[in-house]
Chains A and B, each alone.
Chain A
Amino acid sequence: MNMNAVLPQGSSKISAKALDVHYSEKQALFGVDLDIRAGEVTALIGPSGCGKSTFLRCINRMNDLVDGARVSGSLTLDGTDIYDRIIDVVQLRARVGMVFQKPNPFPKSIYDNVAYGPRIHGLAQDQAELDEIVMTSLEKAGLLNEVKDRLQESGTSLSGGQQQRLCIARAIAVEPEVILMDEPCSALDPIATAKVEELIDELRENFTIVIVTHSMQQAARVSQRTAFFHLGKLIEVGDTEQIFTNPQQPLTQGYITGRFG
């Protein structure tokens, strides 16, 4: 089930080569070459509109939902081109889960939120197995203790931080290989943020995680590798420690020290 088991940690899970993205007339990404390693947290940082979210949304083809979005170049997941005809987008999204900026639980019960993915993909043979998946996912998301007595309550009744962890539980219930996170803590308070960050650190063992964040401190705290985007170009990628203590590119240096243009 979980492909990460066979992939040695640190080998390339997702690989972009000369990736260009256009939104109608506007080019959003310019020839991005970036390898995302398995079993690691890769943080994408950069100023607003730098293309980091665009890159993230290429990986599970969420850009397909945008009118006029055009992707060229190569983007592979385990060596298979994500934009190949033989890749079905539904199947791709079962392998690449996503957590969004604003917690967006379905206005359904907590249980149904987590069970939704397994249900539509037919991952559970019977009710008992579905229960098992829901419980494990909530457990992994560190939410089980807080919600186990009220699984039938609406997911929207939870606090913001709990909602975001519910969304993470919902994503991991499908057992994806990669989890994409688009500024997952931007709507949360520091305590809830810390809980989500702790969770990301635990999830790293089983999932490859790509996280877009505006908080450089957060990138520094949770990621092993950091990629810096600017104006649609990948400026620099490297070990997080190196990026934050000794970036090689003046643009990176300027951005992370707060000297930007």
Chain B
Amino acid sequence: MSDHTVKSYDEELAHLTSILARMGGMAEAQFAAGIQALSKRDDDLAQRVIDGDSRIDELDQEIQTFAVRLLALRQPMASDLRQIVSALNISGEIERIGDYAANLGKRCLILNHLPVTAPVAGVVRLAELVRSLVKDILDAYLEQDVEKAIRVWSRDEEVDEMYNGVFRELIDQMTEDSGTITASTHLLFIAKNVERIGDHATNIAETLHFQILGTQPKGARPKGNTVGAPE
């Protein structure tokens, strides 16, 4: 699409997108670092993840303020309106992702100091899958690629299935060895949070679909069987 007649409007929209991209990249890195801290039992890394969350919150605030300013001063219409409203929305989603990553870091610190440990491989696999979703959806946002967004959106089912697997695995672990209950429960919460991050990625996909096409994606949201996972 061609540029706005008012050049500074284009610059402001680009600025909004760039903050959002920075924020997304930061959240993705936080999440990746959290996963690494979990698998490597790295206290320092976990602590850095916890500390890094405030930066994401700041960016979220910046986006909120900037978007409200654009709404008030530019009175955007149509695609511009959708872009700004979507930015507000996606910023909120990314902020949540950042929160979950920080939570992952906190639980890592606790897990690292527990005397007894439980196997983390399943949770890490789940986390890696979700991380790829987050990466894809952020790429889709930067490229404004609806197809990619829809692919992310439909892969949420995959996440749910894997989550159910991890869930059962951890329950079995606790039943077999009551000494690992504390560690397993923490892992269970981590798995739940990671699954939530996947949900947020799906939300971003939906928002992106609306931003680009002006409609919500068609059909029911792909939702795997999460019987074992109490909400």
Direct contact of A and B (CB under 8 A): yes
CB distance from B209 to the nearest CB of A (A): 12
Cα separation A222 to B79 with both chains bound (whole Å)? 21
| Size category of the binding interface on chain A | 10 to 19
Fill in one digit per residue for B68-79: 1 if any A CB lies within 8 Å of its CB, else 0.
Answer: 000000011111
Fill in one digit per residue for B1-39: 1 if any A CB lies within 8 Å of its CB, else 0.
Answer: 111111001000000000000000000000000000000
Q: Which residues 76-95 in B have Cβ within 8 Å of A in the complex?
A: 76-82
For B2, give its contact among A244, A252, A254 (CB under 8 Å): A254
A85 CB–B CB distance under 8 Å: no
Q: Which residues 224-261 in A have Cβ within 8 Å of B in the complex?
A: 243-247, 250, 252-254, 256-261
CB distance from A247 to the nearest CB of B (A): 5
For A256, give its contact among B6, B9, B78 (CB under 8 Å): B78
Fill in one digit per residue for B45-80: 1 if any A CB lies within 8 Å of its CB, else 0.
Answer: 000000000000000000000000000000111111
Complex contact B82–A257 (CB within 8 A): no
A124 CB–B CB distance under 8 Å: no
Complex contact B78–A257 (CB within 8 A): yes
Complex contact B9–A258 (CB within 8 A): yes
Complex contact B78–A253 (CB within 8 A): yes
Closest A residue by C-beta to B77: A256
For A259, give its contact among B3, B81, B82, B213 (CB under 8 Å): B3
Closest A residue by C-beta to B1: A259
Q: Which residue, B4, B6, B82, has most C-beta atoms of chain A within 10 A?
A: B4
B214 CB–A CB distance under 8 Å: yes
Fill in one digit per residue for A48-73: 1 if any B CB lies within 8 Å of its CB, else 0.
Answer: 00000000000000000000000000
CB distance from B72 to the nearest CB of A (A): 13
For B5, give its contact among A243, A244, A260 (CB under 8 Å): A260
For B214, give its contact among A216, A245, A256, A259 (CB under 8 Å): A245
CB distance from B4 to the nearest CB of A (A): 5
For A247, give its contact among B3, B4, B78, B215 (CB under 8 Å): B78
Cα separation A102 to B82 with both chains bound (whole Å)? 35
A217 CB–B CB distance under 8 Å: yes
Across chains A and B, the number of contacting residue pairs, with CB separation under 8 Å, is: 45
Closest A residue by C-beta to B3: A259
Complex contact B77–A259 (CB within 8 A): no
Q: SS class of chain B's interface: helix, strand, loop or mixed?
A: loop
Cα separation A252 to B214 with both chains bound (whole Å)? 14
Complex contact B75–A257 (CB within 8 A): no
Whether A258 touches B4, Cβ cut-off 8 Å, given contacts A216-B77, A245-B78, A253-B79, is yes
Chain B residues whose C-beta falls within 8 Å of the C-beta of A247 in the assembled complex: 78
Cα separation A46 to B77 with both chains bound (whole Å)? 14
CB distance from A23 to the nearest CB of B (A): 28
Closest A residue by C-beta to B85: A245
Cα separation A257 to B70 with both chains bound (whole Å)? 13
Chain A residues whose C-beta falls within 8 Å of the C-beta of B213 in the assembled complex: 246
CB distance from B80 to the nearest CB of A (A): 5
Cα separation A49 to B24 with both chains bound (whole Å)? 45
Complex contact A259–B215 (CB within 8 A): no
Fill in one digit per residue for A112-143: 1 if any B CB lies within 8 Å of its CB, else 0.
Answer: 00000000000000000000000000000000
Complex contact B214–A257 (CB within 8 A): no
Chain A residues whose C-beta falls within 8 Å of the C-beta of B82 in the assembled complex: 245-246
For A246, give its contact among B2, B4, B5, B78 (CB under 8 Å): B78
Complex contact A246–B215 (CB within 8 A): yes
Chain A residues whose C-beta falls within 8 Å of the C-beta of B9 in the assembled complex: 258
Cα separation A259 to B3 with both chains bound (whole Å)? 6
Whether A258 touches B6, Cβ cut-off 8 Å, given contacts A246-B214, A250-B1, is yes
Chain A residues whose C-beta falls within 8 Å of the C-beta of B78 in the assembled complex: 243-247, 252-253, 256-257
For A254, give its contact among B1, B75, B81, B215 (CB under 8 Å): B1
Binding site for B on A (CB under 8 A): 216-217, 220, 243-247, 250, 252-254, 256-261
Since A245-B82, A253-B78, A253-B79 are in contact, a sample of 17 more A-B pairs with Cβ atoms closer than 8 Å, ordered by chain A residue number, is A220-B77, A243-B78, A244-B77, A245-B81, A246-B82, A246-B214, A250-B1, A252-B78, A256-B78, A257-B76, A257-B77, A257-B78, A257-B79, A258-B6, A258-B77, A260-B5, A261-B2
- 5 interchain pairs, CB-CB under 8 A: A243-B78, A246-B215, A253-B1, A257-B77, A259-B3
